[in-house]
Amino acid sequence: MSDAAVVAEQATDHVEDEHAGHATSLNLSNMKLAMWLFLGSECLLFGALISTYLLSKARFLTEILAGNPVVVDSISNPTLVEEMRAAGSVEPLFDIPFTSLSSFILLMSSLAMVLAHKAISEADYKNLRIWLGTTALLGSFFIAGQIAEFTAFKEEGLSFTGSLLGSAFFTLTGFHGIHVSGGIVMLMTLLVLSFKGKLNQDRAETVELVGLYWHFVDVVWVLIFTIVYLIP
Amino acid sequence: MAIFNEPLRYSLPEGDKPGVANPLGVFSRPRSETGLKDWLTTVDHKKIGIMYGSAAVFFMLIGGVAALLIRIQLATPNSNFLSADAYNQVYTMHGTIMIFLVVMPIGAAFANFLLPLQIGARDVAFPRINAFSFWCFFLGGLMLNSSWFLGGGADGGWFNYAPNNGVAYSPSHGIDFWNVGLLITGIASLSGAINLITTVLNMRAPGMDLMKMPIFVWMSLVTQFLLLFAIPVITVAQVLLLMDRVFDANFFNVEQGADPLLWQHLFWIFGHPEVYLMILPAFGIVSEVIPTFARKPIFGYPFMVFSGIAIGFMGFGVWAHHMFVSGIGPLSVTAFALSTMFIAVPTGVKILNWVATLWGGKLTLNTAMLFSIGLITQFTVGGLSGVTHAMAPSDTQQTDTYYIVAHFHYVLFGGALFGFMAGFYFWWPKVFGHMLNEKWGKWNFWTMVVGFNLTFGPMHILGLQGMPRRMQTYDDAMGFNLWNFWATVGSFILASGVLLFITNVFLSLYRWNKAGKPNPGPDPWDARTIEWSIQSPAPEHNFDYDPQIVSVDDFWHQKYAEDENGKLRKVAHGADIAQPGNGEGVHLPAPSYWPLLLAASLPLIGYGLIFSLWLTIPGGFLMVVSLYGWALEPADDLDLPHGHDDHKSDHAEIASTVNV
């Protein structure tokens, strides 16, 4: 049974293959396949949240335009309500130039993420740390911008518990913010691992996977920014 | 290619004793191979499958008692055995437990145990995530059931429609427990889905193309994709409800202009794929059992595969047939009525293929086969009443009546659960190394068939007579007395059928022990797929070497071949060509504490959301520690004993954020 010996030879590190980017049926590492599946699932999560926002906004606006007193009172600032009624949309709430800037910062972080992945592929650990740090920093700027925006909206009269629009807006953008924050934690973890010398070229795929997640979160923001802020 | 070229970080200096791999300095790596600690820390897909199954049967007893309480209450008119409030809780929890904690996890139990064995793999792609999935399901289920003792269970039906699910109409914590408990079991389903899809797509034995996979693998794969895309939608619905109930948001607050129909849409976009993901594993099981005992290959293998995939796709396009009376408008009703009629086609294809497989076969009518035939007949009854729901005008009459209750019990009990029973009797020797008693099995089957049809058959009539669902009682003069009485009698016969099964489990074990533990051999049924080409019970390492797959039903083709006259002859006995079960040189993933601990952090946070946000602090702390402990723990334990050719350098796993 010499065949069996060959087969046994091939079989010995079957389970261990989970860490390697080879010898899987699809020639795609398990981790990468799993990350894509996870992101596919996340699409439906954000899809449902965005649908919820669109429905809630439409219902809110209908009631505002019809002058439903309960919904009008749900915004504590009467001027904002008047502006919304005049514009026929919730547009007056938003500060488009400010959010455009923070969106730009988030998109640039994706560039930094790509450069981090390139650096680790080339075993350029100095640049890896620089770009991982830059990505995390730009992400943090975005989160800071979101906190500033939330505070401003609260002062303008939109509250989470007060109105339907507030519940929907803060839940959707908050969910996205939590995703970005989770990404920042992952990036910082990678950075610490790199400084401890535990993130070398063999681990390039780890950086790539965090990158996949990070780019996905950015793409979701492009959708949210367009659908929530730009389309009246 | 050894991808870890750097020196072993976890290897020991010469002469040192083993006992490293101590992430965060908290625990040493669990080593037990027996006892409680082993079960708490195992990452073996077979043990996890057994745990899924036993936990689901445990929850089935709770859900079954709830069902009997409902039937006692409804046995006589104007009964006050249960108060209206208690009745609301009992039927809500019955539905929730049976769907989320019984049928789904039994499907997961079979998938966990069988997928790696049927595709020729040593384990799933991510063994620790597998353990995490189980513990999330189990602890989430316990948390859901703890509501019985902490102020009462959920009381809005298993679908908990808005705005009835708001604090105003359901002030107890029941719906909060429902919400948080199911969010946690949702995490279990999602992580399990990612894990099992990766396993099936990526870890098939050499030669096993997608179109050579056993039907059960295919159906489970479709099931996991359904979970992957359906679970996030219910997660969003439950998060919205959580925001409303716990943090005073307004998603379902009609006063603020909200549209409560949003809940129904989100719920059923999840809920309809849900019913298919409950039945597809059972379809897969009978597709394995029937060819084995009809001594024929499955009729129309590609049709079976593609009809399963078609069901998966179409399952996402029929959700609004649950909402024909909610005022969604004639256009939507027409569209969803049509798509609902269409989805009956691939399901009908399956029924016809099973019948065609049986046709002209040399049938062995043992318990597994009887349960499979039970599925075909009873599911067909349920499927036909399902098609009547697609006729929107007729459905308008039937909505919220016992006709619907009859329908979904015929597909989920008469279909899914009968399929699972077939699977239990079929794979029991592979799982536990002994057979279940056939004589008791047949008693078990016939008692269940009689009990089942006597319980749910009359509900068709009650429903057409107009008896509404979810009502605590009915009046003497309504004419519902007779069939309600017989349905209650039937439910007790059905319950004794389930008890016969549990008796059979212990009796068979007792007799097997008494008989000196005879081994049933690797292939007691002369079966077709490669899980029968290894010893029974399946050895810890599954396969000694990778099986080489040539065709569908590969193991059968190793045993049978045509002679020169084109006549089929047995050329080998399963026991002779089975792998001997020698695990020398095999290195298996090491057990770990972290999946259990990470899963335990979730109910802690859940109780925090319900009772006091302060509790979320230890819960969150445990979660962060577990996540990092997990990530920094090597997936393999280098000090576990292994054989002579274990490529030790390959195991130089270093710390990383993505060790799973």
Is A15 a residue whose pLDDT tops 60? no
CB proximity B651 to A under 8 Å: yes
Residue A8 has pLDDT above 70, yes or no: no
Token representation of residue A71: 């919904």
Tokens of A214: 């990070």
Tell me which chain A residues have a C-beta less than 8 angstroms from the C-beta of B247.
160-161
Residue showing tokens 């080879």: A22
Chain B 98-157, residues with CB within 8 Å of chain A CB atoms: 121-123, 125-127
* Alpha-helical regions (H) of chain A: 2-11, 30-66, 69-73, 78-87, 96-121, 125-156, 164-195, 204-224
B414-to-B347, B373, B377, B408, B492 alpha-carbon distances in Å: 15, 10, 8, 9, 16
Buried b / exposed e along A115-136 (16+ C-beta atoms within 10 A): bbbebbeeebbeebbebbbbbb
Which chain A positions have a beta carbon within 8 Å of B244's beta carbon? Answer: 167
Whether B257 sits inside 8 A of A48 (CB atoms) is no
Q: Cβ B655–A16 below 8 Å, yes or no?
A: no
Read off the pLDDT of residues A62-85 as tens digits, 9 standing for 90 and up: 999 999 999 999 999 999 999 999
- Using the beta-carbon criterion (under 8 Å), do B548 and A16 form an inter-chain contact? no
DSSP H or E run through B244:
helix B215-247
Say if A21 is an interface residue toward chain B (CB within 8 Å): yes
Min Cα distance B499 → chain A (Å) is 39
**Distance (Å, whole) CA B288 – CA B335:** 35
Q: Is the pLDDT of residue A2 over 50?
A: no
Q: Where are the domains of chain A?
A: 46-230
Q: Is B526 helix (H, G, I), strand (E, B) or coil?
A: coil
B contacts of A63 (beta carbons < 8 Å): 256-257
Report CA-CA distances (Å) from B645 to B497, B586, B641. Answer: 51, 8, 12
Residues in chain B: 660
Query: Which of B247, B257, B544 lies at the smallest CB-CB distance from A63?
Result: B257
Q: How far apart are CA B363 and CA A31, in angstroms?
A: 44
Beta strands B568-570 and B560-562 are: antiparallel
Coil vs helix vs strand at B147: coil
Q: Is A37 on the interface with B (CB under 8 A)?
A: yes
CATH of domain A46-230: 1.20.120.80
**Chain B neighbors of A48, CB-CB under 8 A:** 232-233, 236-237, 266, 269
| Distance in angstroms (rounded) separating the CA atoms of residues A129 and B291 | 58
Contact B546 A48 (CB under 8 A): no
Sign of CA dihedral B116, B121, B126, B128: positive
A210 touches chain B (CB under 8 A): yes
Which of left, alpha, beta for B552 (phi over 0: left; psi -120 to 50: alpha)? beta
- How many CB atoms lie under 10 A from the CB of residue B103? 27
CA atoms within 13 A on the CB side of B314: 20
Q: How far is B236 from chain A (nearest CA, A)?
A: 6
Residues from chain A contacting residue B629 (CB–CB below 8 Å):
none
Rounded to whole angstroms, how far apart are CA atoms B134 and B104? Answer: 12
Inform me whether the C-beta atom of residue A72 falls under 8 Å from chain B C-beta atoms. Answer: no
- 3-state class (DSSP) for residue B537: coil
Enumerate residues 6+ apart whose C-beta is below 8 A from B504: B436, B437, B440, B441, B444
What does the alpha-carbon distance between residue B237 and residue B160 come to, in Å, rounded to a whole number? 11
Contact at CB, A164 and B258, closer than 8 angstroms: yes
Taking the Cβ of residue B10 and every Cβ of chain A, the question of whether any pair is shorter than 8 Å is answered with no
CB proximity A121 to B under 8 Å: no
Cross-chain residue pair A163–B236, CB shorter than 8 Å? no
| CB within 8 Å: B657 and A42 | no
d(CA B553, CA B217): 12
**Which stretches of chain B score pLDDT less than 70?**
1-28, 31-33, 635-660
- Per this entry, what is the length of chain A? 232
Q: What is the CA radius of gyration of chain A?
A: 23
* Residues of chain B contacting residue A9, judged by C-beta atoms under 8 Å apart: 645
Question: Using the 8-state DSSP alphabet, how is residue B284 labeled?
Answer: H
Q: Does B243 touch chain A (CB under 8 A)?
A: yes
Residue matched to tokens 């393999």: B636
User: Taking CB atoms and an 8 Å limit, are A10 and B206 in contact across chains?
Assistant: yes
- Could you report how far apart the first and last alpha carbons of chain A are, in Å? 73
**Cβ B203–A30 below 8 Å, yes or no?**
yes
The neighbouring-strand residues paired with B568 are B562
Give the 3-state secondary structure of B553-606. CHHHHHHEEECCCCCEEECCCHHHHCCCCCCCCCCCCCCCCHHHHHHHHHHHHH
Q: Could you tell me if B60 and B498 are in contact, meaning their C-beta atoms sit under 8 angstroms apart?
A: yes
Q: Is A1 on the interface with B (CB under 8 A)?
A: no
Judged by a CB distance cut-off of 8 A, whether residue A15 touches chain B is yes
Beta-ladder partners of B570: B560
C-beta of residue B199 within 8 angstroms of C-beta of residue B125:
yes
Could you give the residue ranges of the DSSP H alpha helices within B412-571? 418-432, 438-464, 481-514, 554-559
Q: For residue B467, give the DSSP letter.
A: P
DSSP one-letter string for B75-100: HSTT--SS-HHHHHHHHHHHHHIIII
Distance from CA of B477 to the nearest CA of A (A): 45
Name the residue among B126, B259, B586 with its Cβ closest to that of A55: B259
Contact with chain B for residue A76, Cβ under 8 A: no
Spatial separation of the C-alpha atoms in residues A204 and A128, rounded to whole Å: 10
**Sequential DSSP letters for B287-313:** HHHHHHHHTSPPTTHHHHHHHHHHHHH
Residues facing B562 on adjacent strands: B568
CA separation for the pair A148, A135 (Å, rounded): 20
Alpha carbon of A64: minimum distance to chain B alpha carbons (Å): 9
| Most distant CA pair in chain B, distance | 88
Out of B6, B258, B588, the one facing A15 most closely (by C-beta) is B588
Q: Are B189 and B104 in contact (CB under 8 A)?
A: yes
| Confidence at residue B590, expressed as pLDDT on a 0 to 100 scale | 87
What sign does the CA torsion over B619, B656, A192, A119 have? negative
Q: How far is A4 from chain B (nearest CA, A)?
A: 8
Q: In the structure encoding, which two tokens stand for residue A56, read together?
A: 């809630």
**Residue in A closest to B660 by C-alpha:** A31
Domains and CATH numbers, chain B: 44-583 (1.20.210.10), 600-660 (no CATH)
Contact A62 B257 (CB under 8 A): yes
The residue with tokens 């990092």 is B628
Q: Quick check: bond before A97 cis, omega within 30?
A: no
Decide if B257 and A167 are in contact by the 8 Å CB cutoff: no
Distance between CA B258 and CA B263 in Å, rounded?
Answer: 11
For residues B158 and B8, give the distance between their C-alpha atoms in angstroms, rounded to a whole number: 53
Question: By CA distance, what is B239's nearest residue in A?
Answer: A171
Determine the residue type at A132.
L
Distance CA B648, CA A53 (A): 53
pTM of the model as a whole? 0.91
* Partner B contacted by A230 (CB < 8 A): no
Shortest distance between the Cα of B550 and any Cα of chain A, in A, equals 15
Question: Which chain B residue is nearest to residue A159, measuring alpha carbons?
Answer: B249
- CA A129 to chain centroid, in Å, comes to 21
Name the token pair of B353: 């293929």
How far lies B8's CA from each of B465, B544, B644, B650, in Å? 74, 27, 18, 9
* Alpha carbon B573 to its chain's center: 33
